[in-house]
Chains A and B, each alone.
Chain A
Amino acid sequence: MSKLEFSVNGRACTVEVHPMKRLLDVVRDDLGLHGAKEGCGEGECGACAVEVDGRLVVSCLVPVGQCAGARVRTVEGLAPDAATLSKVQQAFLQYGGAQCGICTPGMLMAATALLDKVPRPSEADVRTALAGNLCRCTGYMKIFEAVVRALESA
């Protein structure tokens, strides 16, 4: 067990856990943030994606010990408040980017990470950026549309 400090969605957190515990389990079990999902536990599906210091990671492969002092962002940190969605979330709603919703937290994190760097992505940019996130429901088309159009009004 060791004591670790880092921030999650802008809030300071302290946890006492084994440093090899997966970041995914720490955010879900210790911090009660259930947005990130486990689809495979081996880095293939991207359902567990979160941002660590602005970098997109699959949290099922990250030992929490590596996150000491880091800024962690999860899907719960995307919406500005309970009444408003982020632009990407809003676009997913409008264009039908979420069906069953289990891949959605990871998709939103990957899409947000892309749009933070490339505000007007082409469909090809989106395809590449989301290649690590599997979706079995949508066939991806509506997700591409949502991401390409997310910042249209910006």
Chain B
Amino acid sequence: MLPSRAMTGKAVGRSVPRREADAKLRGQARYVGDVTMPGMLHGATVRSQVARGRLRAIHFGPEVRWDEYVVVTAADIIAAGGVNTVALIVDHDQPALVGIGDIIAHREEPVVLLAHPDPHALEPARRAIRLEVEPLPAVLTLDDALAARTVVYGEDNVIKSYGIDKGDVDAAFAAAEVVSEGVYETGAQEQLYIENNGMIGALEGDVVTVWGSMQCPYYVQKGLMKCFGVGPERARVVQLETGGGFGGKEEYPSILGIHVALLARKAGRPVRILYDRGEDMAATTKRHPSRTRVRSAARRDGTLTALDIDFVLDGGAYATLSQVVLSRGTIHAAGPYSVANVRVRGRAMATSTPPHGAFRGFGAPQSIFALERHLDEVAHKLGLTPEALRRKNFVTKGGELATGQLVRDDIDLGALLGSALALADWERKRTDIAAERARSGAPLRRRGLGLATFLHGTGFTGSGEKYLASVVGVEGMADGRVRVLASSTEIGQGTQTVFAQIAADALGVDMADVEVATPDTRDVPNSGPTVASRTCTIVGKLVETAAHTLRARLVAAGLLPADGGGDLRAAVQRHLATLGPLRALAQYEAPPYVKWDEGAFRGDAYGAYSWGVYVAEVEVDMLTYEARVLDFVAAQEVGRVIHPVLATGQIEGGVAQGIGWALYENVVWRDGVMSNNRMTDYIMPTSEDIPPIRVLFAEAPYPYGPFGAKGIGELPMDGPAPAILNAIEDALGVSIRRIPATPEVIMDAVEGAGASNGDGAGAGAGVAGAGVAGAA
């Protein structure tokens, strides 16, 4: 892979009009709910409704005329010679449908699929099906999973574990001047894309085809191929306009895609399943709840000498993506600091809830929350400001992260922190707040300031990108324009616009000369999943490389001048007329310095990192214990910014989700399932809850990203929660170690009532006072 020149073209670096926007603004964009096909049936899913058990029988009630319905069970998969599984990372994990005699591992397992021409006929039929289940003991909390008295996965409920070991942690603790310790917890979070999951399946000849809302067409294809026992030429997946994903449409569409395809095969007609909000919230994946114990050793001057971190995720009933979420969370647990001795133990545990999955940040927000909350406690104990403690420990260019990776990014965290604090008016506000506190003894509202500093790895973790070996194509079209071929999906971030910008500048043409193909596995190569902040930087780099190759080919054919310029359209047309098809492919190659040892978990975990300093100003109402964010500053270094408006929009949107996770979004578990699975009861931020968000980009071009770009999408999820909770501690003088910090949680902390309860899994140690374990 060749480094990019950080040059300015006509498109890159400018907020060109978004290509995807016109149809969306006119109400003409076609999402899965807007698409019907001739003869299409409507489908529905019958689910297990017990947390754990063994399915003994399925009874179809006599009150329904079953011959009107298409009914699919696990037996249909087997009878057709397929494999009853949803292949994702591992081939055999969760079944596509629970069969008779099989284990039910959570309450929302699909058991029977139904289809009917009239969507209103589905609900009565669903109710007429009775499942006979032999109950089995379930594991409903992380504590129960860890205790492993009931084992629901493997030998000890551990889905996966990872470890990082750097230096001599025990010796450092033995010699420590100050030791601190805390346990920090984060709750599940629902992605809450406004468009629910939905998919249409049909048989086109002998090709199983699905269309729908998704992030990763090739994941869905993999699932179809395994379950139907067919090759790639007989499984086609097409993305439709997708109304948000945030990770929530990374893996679940594989299940739903299989379901609509199974129904369509049996019906001989297209079938569409659209989840309603209640089903989508209860049955599909959420952010992994977490519990992290952080122990730190420090010198009195604030130098951190050791970190010992135990990071636990609740993975739910199946492995799904938990191991990759865990690996990212484990690697990010030690933050952007240079600490000589680090031990991180990461474990993903199985419980009897629907599997938790991808959500923006992918494990990193959880472990970063713990460390950044912990560091504020350490600062207080040492009598340092939070910013001084961080400055003391920031990793610098050339410094070493926990995995032994040397920082190559041109990053100056001290400077980034300085810019963020200046933009937030930190010093003046701190003086004002101190004066306010001096004036009134028991004010009705208390204000506080908090910050968090963090990093986020660009692209897949470790060897992930090497295994994906993503491919992008650029081809010449009959009218002389070029077309970018990639399976990376537009889910709101502006993928098509950004790819067109990159390709146009790499070819030296107008954006109007570039088309970006719809992700359709029949037409585009596998550029990998749309996850991990990889689309712009990793896939965008491949777009750049493929475009360069295409241009070079035209130059070699004597159709374009070697020194730039020339008429690309004419050259493409001449090539097609005289030399035949014109298509250039680029395949991922790691930057030459990247070395990663998966076994030891050491080396270059990512090709590069994006870096952030986020600052929150918060106010707590002392009567209602409601916390509100008054002001927010998000400063980051993400390499070259390709499209300022889109990039800013990514940051603002991520910050808003982070605010929701920190304060409002409370998944309430009952018997292993989300019980508040409605928008009325699960509160995400509205336009009245989000403060002004001021976004600042420091741009240090990354040589191995397109025109210098690094990853953006996930980074903004990492900073808000710890910054906000740190501000709450500043306001109240008590440390809250658990999110969401709902009024109940804050009240418990202030009034010292201990942990609030009633949340089932994920509740636990909860709130602790400001005190941390004493000095050694």
Q: Measuring CB to CB, which residues of chain A are less than 8 angstroms from any residue of chain B?
A: 28, 33-42, 44-45, 47, 74-76, 78-79, 85, 89, 92-96, 98-105, 108, 126-128, 130-144
Contact = CB atoms under 8 A, between A and B. Distances in A.
Nearest to B658: A139
Given A34-B27, A100-B491, A140 B690 contact: yes
A131 to B, nearest CB: 5
Contacts of B648: 96, 141-142
A121 to B, nearest CB: 12
A53 to B, nearest CB: 20
- The prevalent SS among residues of B at the interface is loop
Contacts of A94: 17
Contact of A108 (B25, B652, B654): B25
Residue from A41, A95, A135 whose CB has the most chain B CB atoms within 10 Å = A135
Given A102-B195, A136-B193, A39 B277 contact: yes
A100 B493 CA distance: 7
Main secondary structure of the interface of A (DSSP, over half): loop
Contacts of A135: 194, 687
A38 B195 CA distance: 8
Nearest to B245: A100
6 nearest interchain CB pairs?
A: A35-B27, A102-B243, A101-B24, A100-B492, A139-B656, A99-B492
Contacts of A44: 678-680
B492 A75 contact: no
B688 A131 contact: yes
B665 to A, nearest CB: 11
A144 B645 contact: no
Contact of B25 (A93, A132, A134, A136): A93
B130 interface: no
Interface residues of B, number: 55
Given A47-B194, A92-B21, A135-B194, A142 B680 contact: no
Interface of B: 15, 17-18, 20-31, 33-34, 191-196, 241-246, 276-277, 491-494, 645-646, 648-649, 652-657, 678-680, 684, 686-688, 690, 692-693
Contact of B244 (A28, A36, A79, A136): A136
B277 A41 contact: yes
Nearest to B31: A102
Given A37-B243, A47-B194, A127-B688, A141 B33 contact: no
Choose among B24, B491, B653, B688 the residue with the greatest number of A CB atoms under 10 Å from its CB: B24
5 contacts: A100-B193, A100-B492, A136-B192, A138-B649, A142-B652
A136 B654 CA distance: 9
A127 B27 CA distance: 23
Contacts of A93: 17-18, 21-22, 25
Nearest to B491: A100
B21 A37 contact: no
A4 B18 CA distance: 40
A134 B194 CA distance: 8
A76 B27 contact: yes
Nearest to A95: B645
Contacts of B277: 39-42
Contacts of B28: 35, 76
Given A85-B22, A139-B655, A141-B692, 12 more contacts: A34-B27, A41-B277, A42-B679, A42-B680, A76-B28, A100-B242, A100-B492, A108-B25, A134-B194, A134-B686, A139-B690, A141-B690
B26 A75 contact: yes
B301 to A, nearest CB: 39
Contacts of B684: 134, 136
| Residue from B646, B656, B693 with most neighbouring chain A CB atoms (10 Å) | B656
B27 A85 contact: no
A130 B687 contact: yes
Question: Among B31, B653, B684, which residue has the most Cβ atoms of chain A within 10 A?
Answer: B653
Contacts of A100: 24, 193-195, 242-245, 491-492
A131 B688 CA distance: 6
Contact of A144 (B191, B649, B653, B687): B687
Contacts of B21: 92-93, 98, 101
A96 B243 contact: no
B194 A96 contact: no
Q: Which of A38, A108, A133, A144 has the most CB of B within 10 A?
A: A38
Contacts of A99: 244, 492-494, 649, 653
Contacts of A33: 27
